[in-house]
Amino acid sequence: MQTRMTEMLGIKHPIIQGGMQWGGLAELASAVSNAGGLGILTALTQPTPDDLLKEIERCRGMTDKPFAVNLTILPTIKPVPYEEYAQAIVDSGIKIVETAGRNPEPYLPLFKDAGIIVIHKCTSIRHSLKAQKIGCDVVSVDGFECAGHPGEDDVTNMILLPLAARRLKIPYVASGGLGDGMGLAAALAMGAEGINMGTRFMVTKEAPIHDKVKQAMVDASELDTSLIYRTLRNTARVFKNSVAERVLEIESRDGPTSFEDIQPLVQGVKGRELFEGGDLDKGIWSAGMVLGLIDDIPTCEELITSIVEEAEEIISQRLNQLVSA
Ligand SMILES: Cc1cc2nc3c(=O)[nH]c(=O)nc-3n(C[C@H](O)[C@H](O)[C@H](O)COP(=O)(O)O)c2cc1C
């Protein structure tokens, strides 16, 4: 299944593993790349730009296939030296970067001069058009279903993808709510050159998180996510646990929400400890509505192969018969 994106990125299957805080380590990224998709390391999961360089080297020791680095530019509790992370990516010789969170324009000259392909994640068509205008190579269209930050427009991929087909000239991938071959076939039908998955890849054997967290996601349904930080206009879709419910309770109080009231509950380090130790109510973690479609814990190879085979079967059998009958 070759698309403009598989050709551009030099990968076998049109499937990307999106950047994931605390999840985007070499174990997962290399497993996805070895299975023919595009694995992505998450820059800010590494405490310093130097550590990122070491993680890139570690990943190179685990795969000889292309992999990328995600640079997420979002408001953070602690200031982040973004320029230094961007420079480390360039110095490492990485050739594909996924940017997210904010307009990546300030970093584009650096990346483009180094011959880096930039995939920018957007939650609206206007941001996608802007990404195209400033010179990004691929847009990852993240619908309202997605884990992490869906933006404030609440538009799902059913609308965003056909809009992208009408308005974008550069290739785009569908992101958010995808976890099986039906999703891949539907995304391709809506003009996408492939899919980007986050939550589904967190529930694989190689995902570097505690088995209890994976099992909780297998047991969960499509109703088990919460939209927190709405009142701060920085909405995040996370797994519905007691901490997410407490955050929502604080946000529902009269008057403006102060982040100071929420901060102790949502510190990044608590999310990391939750992933490591398996205490499901230690903090919060990003998870999408695709939880409803996840009922096993395969290897990345098994997952990617089954998604591609199911999509091929749908396209060559069911859809083909519909039009040739
Ligand atoms: C645990 C987790 C952490 C994430 N962290 C980030 C991140 O740091 N930066 C980012 O750009 N996206 C992040 N995402 C979003 C994913 O890259 C991807 O866009 C999203 O998961 C797609 O939606 P899906 O989960 O329905 O597949 C995260 C997602 C998950 C599940």
Question: How confident is the model over 247-301, as pLDDT tens digits?
Answer: 999 999 999 988 899 999 999 999 999 999 999 999 999 999 999 999 999 999 9
Instruction: Tell whether 70 is covered by a domain.
Output: yes
Q: State the closest ligand 1 atom to the C-alpha of 287, by its place in the atom list counted from 1.
A: 31
Tell me, what's the pLDDT at 304? 98
Q: Tell whether 265 is covered by a domain.
A: no
Copy the structure tokens of residue 175.
């992101």
In a domain, 59, yes or no: yes
Residue 166 inside a domain? The answer is yes
| 180 Cα–ligand 1 center, Å | 17
**217 within a domain of the structure (yes/no):** no
Domain extent at residue 112? 4-208
How many structural domains does the chain have? 1
Does 197 fall in a domain? yes
**How does the average pLDDT of the chain come out, rounded?**
97
pLDDT on residue 74: 85
Q: Convert the pLDDT of each residue in 116-164 to its tens digit.
A: 999 999 999 999 999 999 999 999 999 999 999 999 999 999 999 999 9
Tokens 């990328």 belong to which residue?
Answer: 68
Helix (H) or strand (E) holding 228: strand 225-228
pLDDT digits (tens, 9 = 90+) for 63-72: 999 999 999 9
**What's the pLDDT at 199?**
98
Q: How confident is the model at residue 75 (pLDDT cuts 50, 70, 90)?
A: confident
Which pLDDT does position 39 carry in this prediction? Answer: 98
| Residue 236 maps to a domain | no
Asked whether residue 270 is assigned to any structural domain, the reply reads no
Q: Which atom of ligand 1 is nearest to the CA of 140?
A: 19
Q: What is the pLDDT of residue 282?
A: 97
Q: Where are the beta strands (DSSP E) in the chain?
A: 15-17, 39-42, 67-72, 96-100, 117-122, 138-142, 172-175, 195-197, 225-228, 236-239
CA of 146 to the centre of ligand 1 (A): 7
Distance (Å, rounded) from C-alpha 226 to C-alpha 238?
5
How far is the centre of ligand 1, averaged over its atoms, from the C-alpha of 148 (Å)? 5
Roughly what angle, to the nearest 10 degrees, separates helices 82-92 and 49-60? 30
What CATH number should be reported for the domain holding residue 62?
Answer: 3.20.20.70
Record the pTM. Answer: 0.97
Is the pLDDT at 325 greater than 80? The verdict is no
